[in-house]
Each structure stands twice: as structure tokens, then as C-alpha cells.
Amino acid sequence: MHTRITELFGIEHPIVQGGMHMVGYAELAAAVSNAGGLGIITGLTLPNAIALADEIARCRTMTDKPFGVNLTFLPIVNEPDYPGYVRAILDGGVKVVETAGNNPQKWLPPLHEAGVKVIHKCTSVRHALKAEAIGCDAVSVDGFECGGHPGEDDVPNMILLPRAADELTIPFVASGGMADARSLVAALAMGAEGINMGTRFVATQEAPVHANVKDAIVAASELDTRLVMRPLRNTERVLVNAGVERLIAKERELGSAITFQDIAPEVAGIYPRIMKDGEMDAGAWSCGMVAGLINDIPTVAALIDRIMGEAEEIIAGRLSRLIAQPARVAA
């Protein structure tokens, strides 16, 4: 299957692994790339630029296929060493960067000068158009269903993707609610050039997270996520658990007066406890509504092969049969 995304990134299948905190390490990125997709190392999961450089080098020992690095630009006072992270990406010969968060414009010149393709995560058409205007090579359009931060517009992908297709000239991938062949075919039908999967890739054998995390995703339905931090306009979709229920109770009690410090016990430093130690009630961790479509924990290769094989069957089989054939006139 060839799309503008497979051509842009030099990959076999139009499937991108999203950057995920404490999930996007070399072993998962390499597995996705080896299976024909685009694996992504999550830059800020690594504590500093030296560690990122080491992770990029480690990934190179596991795959000779293209892979990328996610770099999220956070709106905080004490920001990470972004120049160092960018330097590690360039020195490591990485040719794809997924940016997210704040406007990445100031970092585009050095990336483009090195031949790096930049795909920016957007939750609205207006942000996607801005990404196109500043020179991003592609965008990831994230619908309201997505795990993590869906923005504040609450537009699902059945509307957001066709709107993006109407407005954009650069290629885009669909993110949020993507899990299987039906997701891929639907996204292509709505104008996307591929899909970005996050939660689905967490529930794979190669994902370097505790088994409790994978089991929780498989056990969850589409009704088991919650939106938190809406009063702070930093909305995040997370899987419900006791810690999330405590957080929501605080939001209800404090309303618009709530501060980050009020909910810090449920959000600060939570990911290591959940992803590494399997403490599933510790607090909030990102998970998409797509958990309701996830029923197994396959290898990455088996998952991607299944998606691509079933997508071909849907396109060549069921969809082609729906097209009315001309009636034959009897002789």
C-alpha cells in the first residue's frame, strides 16, 4: 500500500507509532520499523540529550529501517535541553521527527537542513494549517477519541479528518481511535494518508511496560476512559482507576479554583509507578477510547501484518462488492 506518507518517510506500510511517555523506547520503535511501519522513540522519556543519543544508537542495533524521534515542546519555565535533544537527533542520523506541544517553528531550520522530515501533532484544523504554513512536512491529526491530550475542541475523527482533507495540502495521518484494518481503511477514505497508533501499540509483546498495563487495556471497554484536567485547560484522556477517581473528585470539589498542586499526587511522577511497577491505581495515565477494540497482546509484526492483510480484504472484497454492477440485458 503506497501513500504520500509511505513515500515521505520511506516505509512499507502507512502505520506510525505515536510517541508515548515511558513507552516509546528503542525496542518498541525498532519492532514497528522492522514490521514496515514507522517506530518512534519518545525523546523526553529519556532524562537528557546524552541518554537520547544512547537510545538512538541502541535502536540502530535493532533495526536498519527508518525510525523517528518524538520531541514535545512543553510550555514550562524550566524547559528541557531542547538544543541538546535536537543535536542528539541530528548526530544520530534520525530522518523523521514527530513534534508536539508548542509551535516547533524555531527548530525547523536545523532539522530541514539535515534532511529531517517533521510531522507535527495537531488536534484541530486551524493548528494543522499553522503547521503547514510554518513548513512542517506532514501532520498527525488527533481526534477527540485519542489517548493523551485531545485539545479543547472535542471534535471526533469522523468530522475532523474530512475537514483536514478539505483544507490541507501536506499529507496527514489519523490519530485517535486507530486500532485495526477498519481504522486504516476508514482513515484513508476520509483523506488521511495513514494512521498513528498509540494505545494499540502499548498492548503488544514488545512494548516495554508492565504486564498489568497491557492487561488493563485488554480488559477495558470504550467506556473506561475519563477526561481530566479540563479546568486547567490541559485536558487529558486517561484510563479510569482509583487514582483517577480521586483526581476527578478534587476537580468536582474545587471547580475552577483548582491548581496543578491540588492534583499533583495523582499526576506527578505517576508514569514510572504505572508503566514500570504496574501500580494501576497510582494515578492518571494516557489511554484512548480505542481500548474497547483491543482484545489481545500480539507481537508488533503480527499486529501490523494483520492490519494490512485485513485492510486489503476490506478494500478488494466487501467495499468492491458494494459498487453496483451494470445490469446485463438479455439477448
Identify the CA nearest to 214 among candidates 287, 271, 266, 143: 287
Question: What is the chain's length?
Answer: 331
As given in the structure block, the three cell numbers for residue 163 are 475537514
Domain ranges of the chain: 4-208+298-321, 212-276
**Model confidence pLDDT, tens digit, residues 9-40:** 999 999 999 999 999 999 999 999 999 999 99
CB contact at 8 A, 40 and 18: yes
As given in the structure block, the three cell numbers for residue 291 are 481500548
The pair phi, psi for residue 261, each rounded to 5°, is -60, -30
**Model confidence pLDDT, tens digit, residues 93-113:** 999 999 999 999 999 999 999
Share of the chain above pLDDT 70, in %: 97
**CATH code given to domain 4-208+298-321:** 3.20.20.70
What would you report as the CA-atom Rg of the chain, rounded to the nearest whole angstrom? 20
- Rounded distance between C-alpha atoms, residue 183 and residue 109, angstroms: 34
138 membership: H or E segment, kind and range? strand 138-142
pLDDT at residue 308 is higher than 70: yes
Q: What is the mean pLDDT of residues 149-171?
A: 97
Alpha carbon 250 to its chain's center: 29
Residue at 289: amino acid letter: M
- Rounded distance between C-alpha atoms, residue 27 and residue 298, angstroms: 15
